[in-house]
Chain A
Amino acid sequence: METSLFRITRNVGVKIASAAALVSFIFIYIDAGSFGSDARRFPRVLAVIGCVCAAAILFQSFVHKKNSNDDQTNQEGSLNRVDILTSYIGPVLYAIGLYFLGFWVASFLCLIGLLVVLGERRVSLIAAVTIGTLLSIYLVFEVGFSIRMPEGLLFEMLRA
């Protein structure tokens, strides 16, 4: 079965993931050596168990009997490449926007951008969804809980 982003089979993906996990747990074991004797005990026990599990998964992935699920591409309707990229990049871009532009500007742009990229063209619906969502968040968080949403680096610099 293809993974949604990369054209690799699931079995190859499992090999890569378990190898990465094995290396990570070895690193955790080594890094825990710098802690005090009581503080390192639990992480080291976890690291050993993690290494054993990762090694077992890696071993199973090599001896795994190939079955028809491993190499088949997704038969249930092909996934749109734009959708896949949007799904992964959208949240990341939104977080970057939150940091630089602040919550309100980033959310405004993200809502409109995502709706348009995902195929919505009705201006009235886009406007209603954007205004409705932001207004609800404002009422619940800023008014209800007195939580100031982040202003963003840009506006903080402008204010300074």
Chain B
Amino acid sequence: MLHHVMIGLAEVCQWQNFVMMTVATIVGLLLGVMPGLGPLAAIALLIPFTFTMHPLPAILALASISAAANCSGAFTSILLNVPGEPTCAATCFDGYPMSQNGRATVAIGLSIGAAFFGDVVGIIAVIAIVQPVSNFALAFGPPENFALAVIGVSFIASLSGTSFFKGMIMGVFGLWLSCIGIDAVNGEPRFTFGLIQLQDGIHLVPVMTGIFAVTEIIAWIQQRGTISKVGRLDGSVWKGVFTTFRHPVALVRSTLVGGVLGVIPGIGGVIASFLAYEVEKKSSSTPERFGKGAPEGVIAPEAANHSAFSASLAPALTLGIPGGATSALLIVALTVQGIRPGPMLFTTHTNLVFGFLVGLIFGAAIFMLIGTIFARPLAKITLVRAELLAPIFLIISFAGVYAQDQQFSDIVIAIVFGLIGCVAKDLDFPVVPLVLGLVLGRLLETSFTQSLEISGGDWTIFFTRPLSGFLLLTAAGLMGLTLYQSLRAKKKRLIVEANSAVGSA
């Protein structure tokens, strides 16, 4: 193994590879901060250029642009409360409050440090244990995917804030939104109301743009001022990077969560980031800090997100099973270069594969350097007046939404959900459960139906398969723990209110 790694190191240490990775990182970072554009758009932009390149610089450039765009999705979560990708949604919870407190550069530093650690550890894990990791991915069938989606749904309870039912109703609404369109299993149109625009369902990008970006724009126009309520930028990005490593337990634990869940195709990254956040919040002796700018609240989802991406490369390379659209495009790029992912890849293209994996470690370091250079200029967005920021961001957001499918209906959806987001904010309904429901809905229903098809209608399949049963028990445990904690918090609140009422009397 070490011999292969050294060969990979020799392959990657050529100036052309470093130049390609640096340029791709800068382009990915700038693309990723634009609403509606992310790793997928970044790869799509670069992929035609790679057809004439040698395989190794081609796939290194694609991986670098994708990783940078993913990272800068976290930047928009921190600076603007608009997640660039669903995997970055959990970063908003503590990243944006840090920006509002004038600590945007520190928050970006935290995300960069956590991303670097998650990337490096994830890649080392892939190098060391790629075959067992791939076998683990193969163990996930429809019942296990259903159980995993149920774990994701259980987060809705914990994201509900003070009202369990308000969070649940938003989550159910999100799950219902995923039903709109042609049913994936039966091919039947549902809730389209005769509109052809709804045949393809409600897409995630317009909903997220509406719920987050349009809602924020409306709030900026109403409240004026700047994102940074203190009117300045405190701290440095390197302070944030070093602070990351002062939370080793959170860092390692979140990376582990991401590494385990990231191998699961489809939703591993989203669930990993939310689960890592929840684990840190529940493990903390001061959970009340979370949601108000706790460093662990940024470190956990980012480390999990990036280790999940690295881990998803294992099934993608060895089995040809993409973890998501991004790794699917990476597989396409490899295939165009004449390299077929599969069990033989590590033996027929040893130099290339290990060169790629070692190159990703260098890519993570390159992003860390470039990200720290761009951090402060980007963070200055938090000092721009709302009167300037709102119109610019509105135009860019709608351009990004339209760019997805070139459908005007997506813009309408973004506006509708922007107004829904405003009403939800005013009435204290959390919006993240809605997004989570929309992300998980299709997988939940499809895997449930497929499981029943496999078992011939026998519901016990979810419990007789050990992994599925374990995951469902975990989901039940998480929900029970959340309910218990919220009841305890409510009891404490009632006692405090009773005491203060007695005191004032």
Contact = CB atoms under 8 A, between A and B. Distances in A.
A18 B444 CA distance: 25
A53 B218 CA distance: 28
Contacts of B165: 53, 56-57, 60
Interface stretch (B180-188, B342-350, B467-475, B480-488): B180-188
B210 to A, nearest CB: 9
A145 B188 contact: no
Contacts of A10: 426-428
B395 A133 contact: yes
Nearest to B188: A39
Interface of B, secondary structure class, is: helix
A137 B173 contact: no
Contacts of A13: 423, 426-427
A107 B395 contact: yes
B387 A120 contact: yes
B490 to A, nearest CB: 12
A95 B210 CA distance: 13
A88 B218 contact: yes
Interface string B412-429: 100100110011001111
Contacts of B172: 25, 46, 49-50, 53
A4 B191 CA distance: 32
A98 B406 CA distance: 12
B399 A119 contact: no
Interface string B53-91: 000000000000000000000000000000000000000
B387 A119 contact: yes
B279 interface: no
17 contacts: A3-B427, A10-B426, A28-B191, A35-B183, A42-B179, A42-B444, A53-B166, A56-B165, A79-B222, A91-B394, A94-B394, A94-B398, A95-B415, A98-B408, A110-B394, A133-B391, A149-B399
Given A57-B165, A91-B418, A147-B406, 5 more contacts: A31-B191, A39-B190, A46-B172, A115-B388, A118-B387
Interface of A: 3-4, 10, 13-14, 17-18, 21, 25, 28, 31-32, 35-36, 38-39, 42-43, 46-47, 49-50, 53-54, 56-57, 60, 79-80, 83-84, 86-88, 90-92, 94-95, 98-99, 103, 107, 110-111, 114-115, 118-120, 125, 129, 133-134, 136-137, 140-141, 144-145, 147-150
